[in-house]
Chain A
Amino acid sequence: MREALNQAMREEMRRDEGVFLMGEEVAAYQGAYKVSKGLLEEFGDKRVVDSPITELGFAGLGVGAAMVGLRPIIEFMTFNFSILATDQIINSAAKMRYMSGGQFKIPIVFRGPNGSAFQVSSQHSQALESWYAHFPGLKVVMPSTPADAKGLLKSAIRDNDPVIFLEQERMYGNKGEVPDEEDFLVPLGVADVKREGTDCTVVARSMTVPLALKAAEELEKQGVSVEVIDPRTIRPLDIETIVNSVKKTNRVVIAEESHAFCGVGAELSAQIMEHAFDYLDAPVKRLSGADAPMPYAKNLERLALPDVERIVKAVREVSYLD
């Protein structure tokens, strides 16, 4: 996964002189998670820039540079630290075009790991997609495979709007086939059916996608055919693909690592209810991260997150099998 992200940035930086990467430890240290490995060597310190620990400052700097036509990639070492920069992301990046009556485009990507990591406790282990997806003016992307990561990041860098690109620390080592072509792009706003099935839909994103696929394998053995859908971008949301799947399976489980309350799962549930109420044979089931800050202890951390076993159980529950 990290190589796919690296390739995406490298190719886009070769393609467009205006693309530059800025963030903490992205240059000399090669990235806290090595996503920017080798970029300093190839592009120099003008385009691969180690910033001080000053998230609000460099996020705002990126938005300003984007206002006059550069294409910044702003890396947050983790999205936990983006909380310090939310004023610039929400009040500046998301609204600049609108409040200027369309005079500016803001082609900027904010990227970095989002969601839970391994035993780093509450402040370093949280999923923020519902925060950013809430605001018109932002686009929110959450890849779950190396190929999607590459294609979506390339699209995000070429996009003329601010994109929040949420990676997952637990997935940086994941392996998968990645196309080599320069113009391999995955469009924003198009969901992907990761596995076809007929009995129940599981809508998963980021780290819950591989879990849902494993659960589907397990359930197949139990005679339940599961369709796994990855929206890939939360905003804009390809609700059509999800609704079409629900119309076919009549049951849906939403698997997410973020908190349920006011979360993306809640939005999906509402939209499914609005568009496919008459097709549902069971209430929409959300399987979310625990409604508690993330604990440090390994056993508690495991309990706080969705896993294969609980996705299996949730599918069986909406299928009235237990």
Chain B
Amino acid sequence: MSELKVTPMRPRTQSEGASAGAGVAEERDERDRIDPAELQDEHEQRHQEQLKHIEHVDNETLLKMLYQMVLIRRFEEKSAESYTLGKIGGFCHLYIGQEAVAVGTLSALRPDDYVLTSYRDHGHALVMGTSPDEVMAELYGKIGGCSKGKGGSMHLFDADKHFLGGHGIVGGQIPLATGVAYATKYRGTDQATLVFFGEAAVNQGAFHESLNMAQLWKLPCVYICENNQYGMGTSLKRAMSISDVSQKAVAYGMAAEFVDGMDVLAVRAATERALERARKEYLPSLLEIRTYRFMGHSMSDPGHYRTRAEIERYQERDPIKVFGDNLREKGLLDDAGLKEIEGRVRAEVEHAVKFADESPEPPPEELFTDIYANPIKK
């Protein structure tokens, strides 16, 4: 559990504007604020925040989190390469830029908690402990994949690790997670369920139906909006009448928090607060974690809908660079330490590619297995 002081949260109203779990909430929309001096001030403020957070997390955990972020980054770079080589087919949605979200949130979990996410799921699977070998083999459509090659990039599953997918219909995983939380409460445990979705999913009925039921029935579910600000090629501003996602919780009387998704420790701290609420009071939360994807929506996205300058502005606060720099500043990381992490990750990713390459295709009979748990034989 959190070593941090729990900041009490309450749903914000429109008139209150953005109040504070993560501190810098009023500085909401960076696209409207490109004054360099102001931006620099804000970055400095966030820099100081992360330094403060570092003091509350043990060194081993900090370095593990950095390692996981680097693993996702390098794994995804390799996925992009394999995709262009034709080794990966179909849709392939990369997580580059958003690493702090999966790593920060999932680092706060217990092994018996549950996690569901959307089709942008490689990072979550890796952090949940599915081996890079199995994830890459799944992308390659091989029998050694975590879903035996039947799910592909969008449908990674690992039941043993309590990773319940990998869902391809925008928002479809949100009611499912609500049901998982329903089941844990039904059984009287204090397990929590985390569900991730993009901001575009917030416009789906599934989101609103789920939040209503979760607050009504007090279900221990943490709804995590990974707001990367684009639903495919459509910006949030062009798709949502009130683009302040965390405000949506007000309609359901649910606690909500706006979080800087480029700060892995701010993400972790906010998740800890939400988990405490879930475990102790069976209460759900909505976290809006503002992030940015550095790549296109999928591998087939040329990305003409946003400017190079905008992407570069976010890359200045690359979550891995920010975290690494701050760990150095605190004396917890040096060149050798970073090199060790990069080396370990490179070996793992190379091993994953080799494993995926060598894993056999699913045998033809797999076409008709796993359709029913109780098949009816004639």
Contact = CB atoms under 8 A, between A and B. Distances in A.
Interface in A22-77: 46, 51-52, 54, 56-70, 72
A61 B172 contact: no
Interface residues of B, number: 47
B186 A70 contact: yes
Nearest to B176: A64
Contact of A63 (B148, B176, B370): B176
Given A100-B165, A161-B372, A68 B180 contact: yes
Nearest to B147: A101
Interface stretch (A91-99, A175-183, A300-308): A91-99
Nearest to A94: B371
Contact of A65 (B116, B168, B179, B212): B179
A67 B179 CA distance: 9
Interface in B176-232: 176-184, 186, 205-206, 209-210, 212-213, 216
Interface stretch (B80-88, B150-158, B331-339): B150-158
A70 B179 CA distance: 10
B374 A57 contact: no
Interface residues of A, number: 48
A207 B213 CA distance: 35
Contact of A46 (B150, B186, B372): B186
A60 B178 contact: yes
B353 interface: no
A139 B166 CA distance: 24
A92 to B, nearest CB: 6
A29 to B, nearest CB: 17
A321 B147 CA distance: 58
Interface in A118-152: 136-137, 139
A67 B213 contact: no
Interface string B343-378: 000000000000000000000000001111110101
B172 A188 contact: no
Given A20-B186, A64-B179, A65-B182, A57 B210 contact: yes
B179 A60 contact: yes
13 contacts: A46-B186, A56-B175, A57-B175, A58-B213, A59-B175, A61-B210, A63-B179, A67-B176, A99-B165, A100-B370, A101-B150, A137-B372, A161-B374
Interface of A: 20, 46, 51-52, 54, 56-70, 72, 87-88, 91-92, 96-107, 136-137, 139, 159-161, 188-189, 236, 238, 240
Given A60-B176, A101-B145, A159-B374, 14 more contacts: A52-B213, A60-B175, A60-B179, A61-B179, A64-B177, A64-B178, A67-B164, A87-B169, A98-B371, A100-B157, A101-B148, A101-B151, A161-B372, A161-B373
Top 7 A-B pairs, shortest CB-CB distance: A64-B179, A60-B175, A57-B209, A101-B148, A102-B370, A100-B157, A64-B176
